[in-house]
Structure 1
Amino acid sequence: MFKTLKKSTKVVLSIFLVLLVLRIALTPIVKSYVNKQLNELPGYKGHVDDIEISLYRGAYQIRGLVLDKISDTTKYAFLNIQHADLSIEWKSIWKGKLVSEIELSAPQIHILRESADLSKEPSRRHWSETVKSLMPITINKLVIQKGSFTYLDRQASPHIDLHVDSMQLTAYNLANVDEDNGQLPATLSISGTSIGGGKLNGDMKLNILKEIPDFDLDLELRDVDMTSLNSFIKEYATVDVERGTFSVFTELKLIDGQIDGYVKPFVKDLKVLDWKKDVKKGGFFQAAKEAVVGLVAKVVENPKKETVATTVVIEGNIKDPKTSTWQTFLGILKNGFIKALKQGIEGTV
């Protein structure tokens, strides 16, 4: 009996030692591979600080992933992830599907407005190939904890810095493991806190397996202090806000490349003039213009709720073979939101 026990113990220890040696040997190989894949993305360079492999979980962790855009001269990385856990989703194996799940801790994304040629940007295929090289198994679940998203415009004066922090995102069934969920099988929920203390909440149903993904999105951003948006407002609406809160609600649906929906902004307690301050800063005519804007906003506001509101329709087809689908989509959204903001402040002027 003791001989059998000793033999079993030796087998277990041998397996453990083999796995330990394999893990130690694989770590630098995987790290080198990941760094190579990040640097093969056109227009970008990247690296990871450390890799840890968990063979028993079928997983590996990435610490300190940084991806820089080569043309970006700011100090901000395009993508910075403190910790990423990429693993097999074991519960889906019982359904006959080998898929993965990814959890990202404190990821930061910085988008910089540029005048560069968009044709030199990585295509959707480039991004897909990079993601697949890092996680070759189809992704079914994505979780983001404490993320942040920032839009920077260094061409504007003053510079524009818009951001959403404390972002939580959860996406399920991206690989359509649960096959009876209809045309839009996956679900996504997002929340966060924007510049100016706004509260962001959104829900989406989507089908990410299509070449151009379909989705149905409901998104709201409530109670943003408008003075925090002054650099953005001065660039696109050419007025200076002294007081007010901004909320925006949108519903968007993209099916077979056709986007339809609306953006509905609400502005409450708006004031766009401090006469002495504005005359000194911008001259008499700028101050007079802001006085007219403030007066008109006061006239058209809801007398009970003291709000100014408008609705901007967003529609179009993003299947343009001459341009990037992603850039076309972003262009439609950007124009819609800027138009909504301008109308929300001075729509009837």
Structure 2
Amino acid sequence: MTRKLWLYPLLVIALLLLSARIAMPYAAQWYINKTLSQPGSYDGRVGDVDLMLWRGAYSLEQVLLYKENGEVDKPLFRANYVEFSLLWSALFDGSAVGSVIIREPEINFVDGRDQSRSQIGRNENWLSIANQLFPLKIDRLDIFNGQIAFHNPDTTPQIHISLHDIRLILRNLVNSRDLSKDMVATLNATGQTAEQGYISASGSMDPSTAKPTFDINVEASNVALVNFRNLLDTYAPFDLEAGSLEFAMELAADNGSITGYAKPVIHNVEVFSWKGDIERDGDGPFEAIGEMASAFVTELFENQSEDQIATRIPIEGTLSDPETDTFSTLGGVLKNAFIKAMQGSLENSITLDDVKTESEPDEASAEDAAGV
């Protein structure tokens, strides 16, 4: 009899714990949907929520953020699966940090005919929402099969371009010596452009500095420009009938100063064609003359042996007001055309030391002026 008296309370406790465990995902889903639906221009919701208490993790399926006025048919953000997890190894070292895995996310920017039909996600407190969903500092972010797209539904034909199959890894974002040998966060990313083309990015940054401090390299190859034809027709002053792009860029920033370069190389470029511009597009005589003039200038500054137009654009100044040297850019076009064809690969010539060296004299002058 005494044994049965002890059994009933234990059974009740077990049932309460089981009920709580069953109810927790639904409670979490309610809280997350409430958090995503905070006042603003965007609303959000999630599908299933799964708690993995033994791992210190939880996952979300079918995450959506969208413009609430219903004028934009693409979500600002969508992901099939998002997982937040606690890093137990870091917890044992006294650091409460976690990692995030995002599978098949997509971000859609839209340039409509007015603000109600446009979508860029600006002026929203996304950081506050992220902190409510995952209050721990994020040390590692993994993205699998991501996509970033740009749309303009109000042009004819409509514009839909994307960078897809994105694989991104960010490490050591918490900037802690307990978790890494150094204080530097690292970035590695790859992706594909439209139906043809490849882009990669790598770099390092110091998350602890007041002003952005980073060293990043970006490289693109074999990007078919015809896949961006609708975009160029709308936003560029000329039509581009054919061509492929190579691109290399190195940037370094420290204490608000920035230095680097961008190097575009366009192969087999074709600005004007009778079939494309006259027969298909129906360009008038004045438009045709403009296109032919653009084609003449393009041919004039093309490296004939490599069939390419290229230049190197130096970038200097501050993050808020970067400057490019027009004469150096034009000199790069002439050098590629008449002296030596330019390579579209990274030079590995820009590091953080370069921008630090350039900013030190200004800092020294300021100290002298202050009488230090």
Residue 9 of structure 1: aligned partner: none
1:198-237 mapped onto 2 (5 Å cutoff)? 198-210=197-209, 212-237=211-236
Shift of the alpha carbon at 1:129? 0.9
Alpha-carbon offset, residue 162 of structure 1 = 2.3
Aligned to 2:251: 252
Partner of 1:38: 36
Whichever of the two has the greater Rg, that structure is: 2
> 1:26-50: CA deviations, max 9, x gaps?
2122111111111116211000011
Aligned mates of 1:13, 1:260 — CA distance in 2: 68
Query: What whole-Å deviation, never above 9, does each CA across 1:57-88 have from its counterpart, x for those lacking one?
Result: 00001011100023562311000010111000
User: Any conservation in 1 of the 2:141–2:170 contact (CA below 8 Å)?
Assistant: yes
Deviation at 1:255, TM superposition (A): 2.7
RMSD: 3.5
**Structure 1 residues 252 and 307: alpha-carbon distance in aligned structure 2, compared to 1, 3 A threshold:** same
> Do 1:196 and 1:229's aligned partners in 2 also have CA atoms closer than 8 Å?
no
Letter of the aligned partner of 1:43 in structure 2?
S
Provide the C-alpha distance between the structure 1 equivalents of 2:13 and 2:213, rounded to a whole number of angstroms: 47
Once the two structures are superposed, residues 123-177 of structure 1 have per-residue CA deviations (whole angstroms, 9 ceiling, x without a partner) of 47x2211111111010000000011000123455543322111110011000123
Aligned to 1:194: 193
Structure 2: 5+ residue stretches without partners? 1-9, 338-372
Provide closer, same or farther for how the CA distance between residues 190 and 19 of structure 1 changes in structure 2, counting only shifts above 3 A. farther
Distance 1:252 1:41, change over 3 A: farther
Matched residue type, 1:265: P
Measured in 2, the distance between the counterparts of 1:74 and 1:215 equals 35
Residue 306 (structure 2) pairs with residue 305 (structure 1): yes
1:110-121 mapped onto 2 (5 Å cutoff): 110-113=108-111, 116=115
Deviations, residues 301-341 of structure 1 (Å, cap 9, x unaligned)? 2233221102334445455xxxxxxxx9xxx79x99xxx9x
Residue range with higher mean Cα deviation, 217-226 or 246-255: 246-255
How far residue 106 of structure 1 moved from its aligned partner, in angstroms, is 0.3
**1:102 offset after TM fit, Å?**
0.4
Which secondary structure state, in structure 1, belongs to the residue aligned with residue 29 of structure 2?
A: helix
Gap regions ≥5 residues in structure 1: 1-11, 320-327
Cα distance between partner residues in 1 of 2:14 and 2:56: 15
TM-score (norm 2): 0.75
2:24 counterpart of 1:26 = yes
Describe the shift of the 1:205–1:217 C-alpha distance in structure 2 as closer, same or farther (beyond 3 A). Answer: same
In the aligned structure 2, how far is the partner of 1:232 from the partner of 1:213?
Answer: 31
Partner Cα distance (1:248, 1:71) in 2 = 38
Q: 1:22 Cα shift?
A: 3.5
Number of residue pairs the alignment of both structures matches: 317
Structure 1 Cα separation of the partners of residues 13 and 201 of structure 2: 48
Q: Distance in 1 between matches of 2:36 and 2:167?
A: 25
> What's the TM-score once normalised by structure 1's chain length?
0.79
State the Cα distance separating 1:278 from its structure 2 match: 1.9
Over 3 Å counting, the alpha-carbon distance change for 1:49 and 1:200 in structure 2 is same
Identity %: 26
> Is the 1:188–1:203 Cα contact (8 Å) retained in structure 2?
yes
Q: Please say if residues 76 and 121 of structure 2, whose CA atoms lie closer than 8 Å, have aligned partners that are also in contact.
A: no
